[in-house]
A and B are shown apart, each in its own frame.
Chain A
Amino acid sequence: MQTRGSKAGNRSVGEKGTPGSSLGVTSFLLFLTLVLIYSLASLLPESFLWGVNQLAAVSTPVRLFLISGAILITIPAVSRILIEPFERFLRVAAERKKSVLIIAGIIGAIGSVVFYQNRIITDMYGDSRTLLNLLAGRHYSITDLFGFNDTEPLTRLIHQSLSRSLGLDQKLTIQIVSAITGGLFLIAVLLFVVHSKQPPIWKVFAGIILVSLGANQLFFGHVEDYTLVYLAIIVFLVLSWRLFEGRKTLMAMMGVFALGVGLHVEMLLLTPALTYAIFYSNRDRFPAIPRPLRPKTIIAALILTLACGLLAYMFYFKAYEFTSDNQNEIASKIFLPVNNPLPFPHAYSLLSLEHLSDVLQELLLTVAPGALLICILALVRFRELRWDDQRTIFFSIAAFYFLLFNLTVNPILSMPRDWDFLSLAAAPIAFLSLALSTHFFDGSTTRRTMNLLIACSLGMGILSSTVFFVNSHEDTASRRLRSIGIWVYRSYYRGSSYIINVGCKLIGTENNMEIEERRRIIQELEPFKSKHDSELGFLYEKLGQVYFMRGDYDNSARCFSKSIDVDAMNLHSVKELAVTCLKTRRFSLASDLIDVYNQQVNDPVVTEPTGLTLSEYINYIGVLESSGRDSLSIQKALDQVQLF
Chain B
Amino acid sequence: MNHSRLFVVLIVGVFSGTLQLGGAQTWSDPVRFESAGGIEFRWRDFFTRTDTVSHFFEWEFMNDTDSSATFEYVITGDNGEERIGRITLKPRRKKLSGWYFSGDKIVDVALAKVAFESISNNSGLGSGANKRK
Which residues of A approach B to under 8 Å, CB–CB?
Answer: 588, 591, 595, 598-599, 602-603, 605-606, 608-617, 619-620, 622-623, 625-626, 636-637, 640-642, 644
**Contact residues of B: prevailing secondary structure:** strand
Q: 8 Å CB contacts to A: which residues of B43-94?
A: 46-47, 56, 58, 72-73, 83-88, 93
Contact B85 A644 (CB under 8 A): no
A residues in contact with B98, CB < 8 Å: 606, 609, 612-613, 615-616
Given contacts A609-B46, A610-B10, A644-B11, contact A616 B83 (CB under 8 A): yes
Does B4 sit at the interface, judged by CB under 8 A? yes
In the complex, number of A-B residue pairs with CB atoms less than 8 Å apart: 89
Contact A616 B4 (CB under 8 A): no
Given contacts A591-B87, A622-B85, A622-B87, contact A617 B95 (CB under 8 A): no
Please give the distance in Å from B75's CB to the nearest CB on chain A.
9
Given contacts A606-B46, A616-B97, A636-B3, contact A626 B83 (CB under 8 A): no
B residues in contact with A623, CB < 8 Å: 72, 84-86
Contact B10 A612 (CB under 8 A): no
Does B96 sit at the interface, judged by CB under 8 A? yes
Given contacts A606-B25, A619-B86, A623-B72, contact A642 B11 (CB under 8 A): yes
Contact B85 A619 (CB under 8 A): yes
A403 to B96: give the CA distance in the assembly, Å. 54
A residues in contact with B14, CB < 8 Å: 644
Contact B12 A613 (CB under 8 A): yes
Please give the distance in Å from B14's CB to the nearest CB on chain A.
7
Please give the distance in Å from A582's CB to the nearest CB on chain B.
11
Question: B13: nearest residue on chain A (CB-CB)?
Answer: A610
Please give the distance in Å from B74's CB to the nearest CB on chain A.
10
A residues in contact with B13, CB < 8 Å: 608, 610, 644
Question: B11: nearest residue on chain A (CB-CB)?
Answer: A644
A617 to B12: give the CA distance in the assembly, Å. 13
A residues in contact with B84, CB < 8 Å: 620, 623
7 contacts between A and B (CB under 8 A): A591-B87, A602-B96, A610-B11, A613-B99, A614-B10, A622-B85, A626-B86
Q: 8 Å CB contacts to A: which residues of B74-133?
A: 83-88, 93, 95-99, 113
A626 to B72: give the CA distance in the assembly, Å. 9
Q: Top 5 closest A-B pairs, CB basis?
A: A619-B85, A612-B98, A622-B86, A616-B97, A615-B97
Which residues of B approach A to under 8 Å, CB–CB?
Answer: 1, 3-4, 6-7, 9-14, 25, 46-47, 56, 58, 72-73, 83-88, 93, 95-99, 113
Interface hub of A602, A609, A610, A642 (most chain B Cβ within 10 A): A609
Cβ-defined partner of B7 (8 Å) among A595, A615, A617, A644: A617
B residues in contact with A642, CB < 8 Å: 10-11
**Contact residues of A: prevailing secondary structure:** helix
A602 to B14: give the CA distance in the assembly, Å. 18
Please give the distance in Å from A511's CB to the nearest CB on chain B.
28
B residues in contact with A615, CB < 8 Å: 95-98
A605 to B3: give the CA distance in the assembly, Å. 28
A623 to B56: give the CA distance in the assembly, Å. 22
A640 to B97: give the CA distance in the assembly, Å. 18
Please give the distance in Å from A635's CB to the nearest CB on chain B.
11
A residues in contact with B97, CB < 8 Å: 598, 612-613, 615-616, 619
Please give the distance in Å from A575's CB to the nearest CB on chain B.
11
Contact A617 B6 (CB under 8 A): yes
Cβ-defined partner of A641 (8 Å) among B10, B58, B85: B10
Cβ-defined partner of A612 (8 Å) among B7, B86, B87, B96: B96
A residues in contact with B99, CB < 8 Å: 612-613, 616
Please give the distance in Å from A407's CB to the nearest CB on chain B.
41
A610-B12, A612-B98, A636-B3 provided; 14 other pairs, C-beta below 8 A?
A598-B97, A606-B58, A612-B58, A613-B99, A614-B10, A615-B97, A615-B98, A616-B85, A616-B97, A619-B85, A637-B3, A640-B3, A641-B7, A644-B13
Contact B83 A620 (CB under 8 A): yes
Please give the distance in Å from A617's CB to the nearest CB on chain B.
6
Please give the distance in Å from A438's CB to the nearest CB on chain B.
57
A613 to B10: give the CA distance in the assembly, Å. 6
Question: A620: nearest residue on chain B (CB-CB)?
Answer: B85
A402 to B128: give the CA distance in the assembly, Å. 71
A253 to B12: give the CA distance in the assembly, Å. 53
A133 to B6: give the CA distance in the assembly, Å. 30
A642 to B84: give the CA distance in the assembly, Å. 21
Contact A620 B6 (CB under 8 A): yes
Contact A602 B83 (CB under 8 A): no
Please give the distance in Å from B43's CB to the nearest CB on chain A.
11
B residues in contact with A588, CB < 8 Å: 88
A644 to B10: give the CA distance in the assembly, Å. 7
Please give the distance in Å from B110's CB to the nearest CB on chain A.
13
Question: B95: nearest residue on chain A (CB-CB)?
Answer: A595
Cβ-defined partner of A640 (8 Å) among B4, B25, B73: B4
A622 to B72: give the CA distance in the assembly, Å. 9
A606 to B27: give the CA distance in the assembly, Å. 12
A637 to B2: give the CA distance in the assembly, Å. 9
Please give the distance in Å from A398's CB to the nearest CB on chain B.
45
B residues in contact with A636, CB < 8 Å: 3
Interface hub of B9, B13, B25 (most chain A Cβ within 10 A): B9
Please give the distance in Å from A598's CB to the nearest CB on chain B.
4
A residues in contact with B25, CB < 8 Å: 605-606
Please give the distance in Å from A88's CB to the nearest CB on chain B.
60
B residues in contact with A626, CB < 8 Å: 72, 86, 113
A642 to B47: give the CA distance in the assembly, Å. 23
Given contacts A591-B87, A615-B95, A623-B84, contact A609 B12 (CB under 8 A): yes
Question: B22: nearest residue on chain A (CB-CB)?
Answer: A606
A residues in contact with B11, CB < 8 Å: 610, 642, 644
Interface hub of B7, B13, B47 (most chain A Cβ within 10 A): B7
A residues in contact with B85, CB < 8 Å: 616, 619-620, 622-623
A619 to B86: give the CA distance in the assembly, Å. 5
Please give the distance in Å from B6's CB to the nearest CB on chain A.
7
Question: B27: nearest residue on chain A (CB-CB)?
Answer: A604
Interface hub of B14, B96, B113 (most chain A Cβ within 10 A): B96
Question: B19: nearest residue on chain A (CB-CB)?
Answer: A609
A602 to B96: give the CA distance in the assembly, Å. 8
Given contacts A615-B95, A617-B10, contact A591 B88 (CB under 8 A): yes
Contact B87 A602 (CB under 8 A): no
B residues in contact with A599, CB < 8 Å: 96
A residues in contact with B87, CB < 8 Å: 591, 619, 622
Please give the distance in Å from B73's CB to the nearest CB on chain A.
8
A residues in contact with B86, CB < 8 Å: 619, 622-623, 625-626
